[in-house]
């Protein structure tokens, strides 16, 4: 730990050896190649009056060599695991030897070497250290550190400057991206009481998005640009150790934020599900691919969702077939509709703006999912009362008209056309009394019996050329009288 490197080239060693006497070098390495490399590098510079006096690989050998060979400088092979460099430093630099010891890493092929010190020190301290080292050995000159080769460890002043610049960049990005997020109108009109707490959550979300985006992208772009590798720079990056204070901060801050979100989210959930004592009850039935809205208090079945303004509606949601999802973007709240008796779901909506909206299915539910829309009309209480009255007026005594109403209300027309065009199911135009080919090769006359069977048990006889996709639950709520009306309606389509 704490080993910093100072890159140097051999000319440094020249200046190191400015003593008039010959410099006696002892090499500590178990690899003969290392000694060869050092020797040939030294030979290339005759102005350096050096002599390699020996080679050792253990501290004991080194102690012997110290007595017999009297070296001035010990060059320790940094990359040799067999040489215990800590021991060398301890014994020679700080111990009784008081010799000049250099940790050396030879670079392949080049006139270049890396000199290491094992102690932790800032770049600015290195020169002092080198001074001290030369004083110990009586050498007058320190190992020079060339200016363009100062280690990459940034100075405090530099770090501060980077912090401020990067901080400014991030701040600008936060403001910019938050401004963008809030001005491109991601959120439609707020048309329900429940929309407000949800939008508060969204706003918080936008802030979190802006901060995280800017922090990540800003710091990344800053680093890519400012700390890019310059031409010719072959040095390693600085060795960076952990920073406990930073780690505590980046753990605690998100933790607190997430806890706050959990609290804030549950408060919002409480607000969106708050119950009025006397809500308007509605059953919302999703079916492939239409919506049905039933008002048990008035006996109304409608394909439009009509609601009085400023009155909470309590929706009971269910599906006749697959999973659908009730979503009116202006109301914000959203709820899945699940098939099966035991899976009714509740949703509370209090519309606060008179207007027209659209329910859209928010769960992919098959071929015509995209078209599973229904109008939503929020009316004043007076208009709503008038609508109720119109809907509950005297029932027509024409079975064809009644049958037509049933097929509209129950969404049959999402799959069956009355004009001969082909949809997901066979057209009803001219079908009554005709011969219908079935997919088992037989054929059947379309009569009263067959239609009843087709509605009650649609999976039994499948019309040739069509898939068995007619929802089994779609006719489950139809009374026998309603089916008679449907038959009359189909019969009328000739």
97 lines the binding site for ligand HEC (CB under 6 A) = no
Contact characters 426-445, ligand HEC, x per CB under 6 A: x----x----x---------
Q: Is 178 left (phi over 0), alpha (psi -120 to 50) or beta?
A: alpha
**Taking CA 476 as the corner, what is the angle to CA 471 and CA 479, rounded to the nearest 5 degrees?**
135
Judged by beta carbon, residue 376 or residue 415, the one nearer ligand HEC is: 415
Size of the site for Cu ion (CB under 5 A): 4
Instruction: Identify the three-state secondary structure at position 27.
Output: strand
Rounded to whole angstroms, the Cα distance separating 307 from 387 reads 10
Work out how close the CB of 415 gets to Cu ion at its nearest, in angstroms, rounded to a whole number. Answer: 13
Which of Cu ion, ligand HEC, none does residue 361 bind to, with CB < 5 to 8 Å depending on kind? Answer: Cu ion
Cα distances (Å, whole numbers) of residue 85 to 23, 100, 134, 209, 274: 21, 13, 19, 51, 72
Q: Which two tokens stand for residue 446?
A: 């379309």
Stretch that binds ligand HEC, among 299-307, 309-317, 380-388, 406-414 (CB under 6 A): 406-414
Cα distances (Å, whole numbers) of residue 485 to 285, 404, 419, 478: 21, 8, 19, 10
Stretch that binds ligand HEC, among 58-66, 215-223, 345-353, 458-466 (CB under 6 A): 458-466
Which of Cu ion, ligand HEC, none does residue 470 bind to, with CB < 5 to 8 Å depending on kind? Answer: ligand HEC
365 lines the binding site for Cu ion (CB under 5 A) = yes
| C-alpha radius of gyration, the chain, whole number | 43
323 lines the binding site for ligand HEC (CB under 6 A) = no
322 lines the binding site for ligand HEC (CB under 6 A) = no
Stretch that binds ligand HEC, among 114-122, 150-158, 391-399, 453-461 (CB under 6 A): 453-461
Q: Which residues 388-427 are close enough to bind Cu ion by CB under 5 A?
A: none
351 lines the binding site for ligand HEC (CB under 6 A) = no
What is the enclosing helix (H) or strand (E) of 25? Answer: strand 23-28
372 lines the binding site for Cu ion (CB under 5 A) = yes
For 32, counting Cβ atoms within 10 Å of its Cβ (0-12 exposed, 13-18 middle, 19+ buried), the class is exposed
* 261-270 CB contacts, 8 Å cutoff, 24+ apart: 261/204, 264/200, 264/201, 264/204, 265/201, 267/197, 268/197, 268/198, 268/200, 268/201
Which of Cu ion, ligand HEC, none does residue 415 bind to, with CB < 5 to 8 Å depending on kind? Answer: ligand HEC
Among 361, 379, 486, 490, binds Cu ion (CB under 5 A): 361
Contact residues toward Cu ion (CB under 5 A) are 324, 361, 365, 372
Contact residues toward ligand HEC (CB under 6 A) are 287-288, 407, 410-412, 414-416, 424-426, 431, 436, 446, 451, 454-455, 458, 461-463, 466-471, 474-475, 486
């Amino acid at each position: 730990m704490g080993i910093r490197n100072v890159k140097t080239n051999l000319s440094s060693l020249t200046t190191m050896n400015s003593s008039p006497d010959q410099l006696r070098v002892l090499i500590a390495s178990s690899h003969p190649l290392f000694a060869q490399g050092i020797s040939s590098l030294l030979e290339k510079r005759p102005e350096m009056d050096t002599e390699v006096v020996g080679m050792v690989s253990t501290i004991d050998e080194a102690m012997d060599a110290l007595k017999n060979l009297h070296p001035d400088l010990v060059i320790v092979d940094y990359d040799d695991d067999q040489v215990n460099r800590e021991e060398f430093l301890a014994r020679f630099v700080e111990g009784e030897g008081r010799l000049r010891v250099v940790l050396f890493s030879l670079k392949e092929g080049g006139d270049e070497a890396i000199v290491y010190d094992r102690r932790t020190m800032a770049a600015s301290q290195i020169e002092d250290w080198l001074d001290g080292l030369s004083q110990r050995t009586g050498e007058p000159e320190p190992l020079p550190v060339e200016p363009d080769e100062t280690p990459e460890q940034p100075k405090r002043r530099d770090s501060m400057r980077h912090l401020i610049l990067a901080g400014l960049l991030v701040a600008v990005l936060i403001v910019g991206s938050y401004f963008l997020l809030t001005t491109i109108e991601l959120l439609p009109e707020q048309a329900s009481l429940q929309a407000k707490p949800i939008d508060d959550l969204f706003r918080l979300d936008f802030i979190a998005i802006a901060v995280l985006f800017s922090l990540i992208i800003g710091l990344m772009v800053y680093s890519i640009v400012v700390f890019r590798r310059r031409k010719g720079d072959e040095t390693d990056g600085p060795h960076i150790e952990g920073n406990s204070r930073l780690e505590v901060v980046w753990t605690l801050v998100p933790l607190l934020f997430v806890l706050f979100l959990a609290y804030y989210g549950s408060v919002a959930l409480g607000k969106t599900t708050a119950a009025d004592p006397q809500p308007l009850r509605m059953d919302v039935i999703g079916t492939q691919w239409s919506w049905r809205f039933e008002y048990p208090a008035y006996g109304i079945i409608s394909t439009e969702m009509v609601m009085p303004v400023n009155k909470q509606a309590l929706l009971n949601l269910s599906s006749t077939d697959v999973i659908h999802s009730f979503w009116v973007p202006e109301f914000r709240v959203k709820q899945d509709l699940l098939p099966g008796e035991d899976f009714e779901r509740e949703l509370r909506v209090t519309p606060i703006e008179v207007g027209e909206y659209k329910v859209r299915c928010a769960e992919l539910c098959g071929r015509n999912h995209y078209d599973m829309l229904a109008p939503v009309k929020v009316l004043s209480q007076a208009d709503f009362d008038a609508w109720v009255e119109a809907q509950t007026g005297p029932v027509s005594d024409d079975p064809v008209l009644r049958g037509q109403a049933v097929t509209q209300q129950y969404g049959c027309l999402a799959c069956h056309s009355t004009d001969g065009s082909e949809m997901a199911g066979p057209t009803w135009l001219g079908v009554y009394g005709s011969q219908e080919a079935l997919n088992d090769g037989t054929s059947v006359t379309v009569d009263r019996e067959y239609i009843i069977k087709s509605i009650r048990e649609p999976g039994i006889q499948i019309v040739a050329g069509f898939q068995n996709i007619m929802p089994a639950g779609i006719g489950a709520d139809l009374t026998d009288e309603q089916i008679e009306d449907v038959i009359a309606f189909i019969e009328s389509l000739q």
